[in-house]
A and B are shown apart, each in its own frame.
Chain A
């Protein structure tokens, strides 16, 4: 009966095993140090294996029973990226493979990572908790690899705990909060009520909102924690009005990354106020409502493959695999050093169906990209919002810009 019963997401494990020859070839390619001059692309059939390492998380069941959580978020995006890379590879004589490893909630990410390394993989997508991601990047075995973070928004991983071998395909919390703040500033909805949940992630989301607000002239006029007391969950119609009563504010900004209560706020607040943040108007890298810039093509290709909508993690994983494929096509090589160099060069421009070229910030490894502001059935805006200017690239109005970065080991 307890709605808070935690359930373990059913295991997903589809291993794509390289045959012996491929492993040997991949290991041979992986062996030389980065400094060695890149050898020219072989005339026929360069192969590159890309790893996907995910750890199951404990999820709360969604508030409404008709909603479901995708249990294969991320890996489906990576698979589509591999298919796209191989379509291109048919013309460039390059072949891409995905090796998927999913470990249980109590599994050891480092051991799984080392197994992938032993197979000769050096490009590894990771869907791991913050702590595990930071620990992996610091392993000696990770020195000559690139880890592509496709799921974690922690600012810490782009800041104090950044690593030169860690790239981020999903927007940070700071980018999301800045995107939302730009839109609210444009609407002149400047007074915010911040309702934060009790998880550590909610606290970090709230920190990002508090950082963003003064940057764009917004004010948090009230901040209240939403505690998971039985009454609040059972009778939102009585609890939410009381919770939201008091201050005069324009928008209720909610920090509830696990979806425990955020959906209960809309239409129940004391005053008629819109809800934004982790629920309501949501800043996100990807959303089913995005159809512009050819995005409808990616949406429909993904749906055909996965039989569901593309999530943000799928999009990030697709981007990671496409970035590697694009670098391999442009450098005409699957050499690790050349791909790495190209990914972080000025020449790298990834088409991500959001109207502008995407590229990596060399100061923290974050992929600069527009952030969508989406309601459930409507794409409301795309940040950077027109008018927020930047001397070099307007995408850098979102998140930690070069002068502000806390990352001490740039890429």
Chain B
């Protein structure tokens, strides 16, 4: 009997799928402490599977064709390539020591990796599986972002407190912008006009004009009943229309909602403990957060602006990427 169940259930599942307002998606969450990858169904918020991968996995991204996952296995000193369907490790990329985060160029052909221990950015040709260049940057590079127009690669260094502007084609540093202390995460707006950088120690997000590389504004956060020291911004996601930006505030256990035009903070949403990284669903109707200390992810319904679910995934969820 059980053998026939999938056949019976499939149409029902399909029906349910079409009835849902948001499309189904699959989340891949790196578990820093478990050396594992958790797979979660975004629509239902169910943990589907957990597989063991390399040591201390942190940064994660999907290939352009959505078939492969790239995971920075920091303590294995490599970027692992994982088949998104079978979850089998199918290869690795030479990232040098202690890769933490990385970014892909718009074509999905080149990867830029922050090597925290070596104070450099490693440029990897993905097809050739070869490190083609190592660019010296400031002390402890962490945040890394490629502008959607493909012009810039930005690396932020935590102890130097700078955003380094690397010209993507020449791979040379063209400019440096001082930012607030201990920058963690960097991301461009979809129009490539602004770079947003979070600073953990200053508790702020610096918005920088990409044309002049000068700061436009430093956004601060204030939450009643939460001490300022607990407000440590990390992950940032900005919707493609540049209407709202969402900022993970670390041990403040909240997401800040920022009007991406006026740069004013609008709201704070309570999520899990030490919220770290964020990702949109492919239709931008949901936002997912990794919560390092409560070992779960939060799912936020962006239409109703409500945290709808928390899903226990494993120890120290760090990075998240979403496959349509």
Q: Mark A residues whose CB is within 8 Å of B.
A: 84, 87-88, 90-92, 293-294, 297, 300-301, 322, 326, 329-330, 349-351, 355-357, 394
Contact = CB atoms under 8 A, between A and B. Distances in A.
A349 B178 contact: no
Given A329-B178, A357-B202, A91 B116 contact: no
Contact of A91 (B158, B159, B160): B160
A408 to B, nearest CB: 31
B80 interface: no
A337 to B, nearest CB: 20
Given A297-B117, A330-B178, A349-B181, A88 B162 contact: yes
Contacts of A301: 117
B161 A91 contact: no
B227 interface: yes
A351 B182 contact: yes
Nearest to B136: A90
B205 to A, nearest CB: 15
B50 interface: no
Secondary structure class of chain B's binding surface, majority of residues: loop
A394 B227 contact: yes
Nearest to B173: A91
B138 A88 contact: yes
A379 B181 CA distance: 25
A160 B29 CA distance: 56
Contacts of B190: none
B164 interface: yes
Given A88-B139, A91-B164, A349 B202 contact: yes
A349 B201 contact: yes
B229 interface: yes
Contacts of B35: none
10 closest A-B pairs by CB: A88-B160, A351-B182, A91-B176, A351-B181, A351-B201, A356-B229, A84-B139, A357-B201, A87-B139, A349-B181
A297 B173 CA distance: 24
Nearest to B227: A394
B121 to A, nearest CB: 13
A294 B142 CA distance: 11
Contacts of A293: 200
Interface residues of B, number: 26
18 contacts: A88-B139, A88-B160, A90-B136, A91-B164, A91-B176, A92-B176, A293-B200, A294-B140, A300-B117, A301-B117, A329-B178, A349-B180, A349-B181, A350-B181, A351-B201, A355-B201, A356-B201, A356-B229
Contacts of B157: 88
B222 to A, nearest CB: 15
B232 interface: yes
A394 B229 contact: yes
Contacts of A357: 181, 201-202
A87 B181 contact: no
Contact of B158 (A92, A294, A300, A349): A294
B63 interface: no
A330 B162 CA distance: 11
Interface of B: 116-117, 119, 136, 138-140, 157-162, 164, 173, 176, 178, 180-182, 200-202, 227, 229, 232
A90 B173 CA distance: 11
A91 B138 contact: yes
A297 B229 contact: no
Nearest to A322: B159
A88 B156 CA distance: 12
Contacts of B138: 87-88, 91
A6 to B, nearest CB: 39
Nearest to A90: B136
Given A394-B227, A394-B229, 10 more contacts: A87-B139, A91-B138, A91-B162, A293-B200, A294-B158, A300-B117, A322-B159, A349-B180, A351-B159, A351-B161
A373 to B, nearest CB: 17
A310 B22 CA distance: 52
Contact of A84 (B136, B159, B178, B200): B159
Nearest to A357: B201
A153 B255 CA distance: 41
Contacts of A92: 176
Contacts of B159: 84, 88, 322, 351
Nearest to B229: A356
A353 to B, nearest CB: 9
A193 B183 CA distance: 45
A355 B163 CA distance: 20
A90 B202 CA distance: 24
A91 B173 CA distance: 9
Nearest to A304: B117
A338 to B, nearest CB: 15
B149 to A, nearest CB: 24
Contacts of A356: 201, 229
Contacts of B117: 297, 300-301
A320 B158 CA distance: 17
A350 B176 CA distance: 19
